[in-house]
Structure 1
């Protein structure tokens, strides 16, 4: 039997990303692939976003989901892949259309660090690491990024050359 759908339902389904995950444990926590997209990310269809924006938004979802599972005394760090680059304490994430993501933060030695990554080479490893003792509360970058997206009325892009 063929299922009948309205035009609106067909458009809505076409805008949803295709994602799937399989875990070895039936009790595994929910992951970003199975959670619904937040409304601020679902405003535009994936095919209407640049590769950089779409990668940025999905990385944000993964970080936020990872942070939801951290203990109070842990923070997320980004494990840099390729070589012996170490880790980056995430303090900011950005994208530059059409194809660049940037991660801002500090490395394990406290040095200011910036990773500029092409979306075709995107490899991100999230690591739970004990938070520094001097910090009162863990910093949750994923939730700050989500809040920033919620505050946007519409996706706007700035041209960096306009600020000179």
Structure 2
């Protein structure tokens, strides 16, 4: 009798644990749906890091941003994630002019590009900011 009670108790605890896990998954999905930047932040970071890791020393990361009916090349220095919906790209163009693009996550198209460095200074890794 005692063994059956222990088994029943174990099954009940396991069922409660499974229910909590399901609720946690539902909550995470709801959060990602309401917060698209959180959903894509890790993907963007890993893609940028992988691209940077495979660049030759005399190249740096550029990105073609499709906005305003034009394509804009930005030498990316920093990517800032402003939850829930904005991504901010900071950097410069080939002439050294500072650029900053504030982009809604739903409109993001980003083409990573290897750009020949204009200086002999060591390449800086992209900085990521999470807000």
Q: Which of the five TM-score ranges fits, normalised by the shorter chain?
A: 0.5 to 0.7
Structure 1 or 2: larger strand share? 2
The gaps in structure 1 that reach 5 residues or longer are: 1-5, 16-44, 149-155, 158-164
Q: Which residue of 1 is the match for residue 105 of structure 2?
A: 119
Q: Tell me if structure 2 keeps the 8 A contact 1:100–1:119.
A: yes
The root-mean-square deviation of aligned C-alpha atoms, in Å, is 2.6
Q: Which residue of 1 is the match for residue 86 of structure 2?
A: 100
Query: If you compute each CA radius of gyration, which structure gives the higher value, 1 or 2?
Result: 2
Task: State the Cα distance separating 1:107 from its structure 2 match.
Answer: 1.2
Q: SS at 2:70's partner residue?
A: coil
Structure 1 or 2: larger helix share? 2
Greater mean alpha carbon deviation, residues 58-67 or residues 46-55? 46-55
Task: State the Cα distance separating 1:96 from its structure 2 match.
Answer: 1.7
Q: Which residue of 1 is the match for residue 41 of structure 2?
A: 56
Q: Which residue of 1 is the match for residue 58 of structure 2?
A: 73
- Work out the CA distance in 1 between the residues paired with 2:105 and 2:111: 15
Task: State the Cα distance separating 1:134 from its structure 2 match.
Answer: 3.3
* Ranges of 4+ aligned residues in structure 1 off by more than 3 Å: 45-49
- Work out the CA distance in 2 between the residues paired with 1:85 and 1:111: 16
How many pairs does the alignment contain?
107
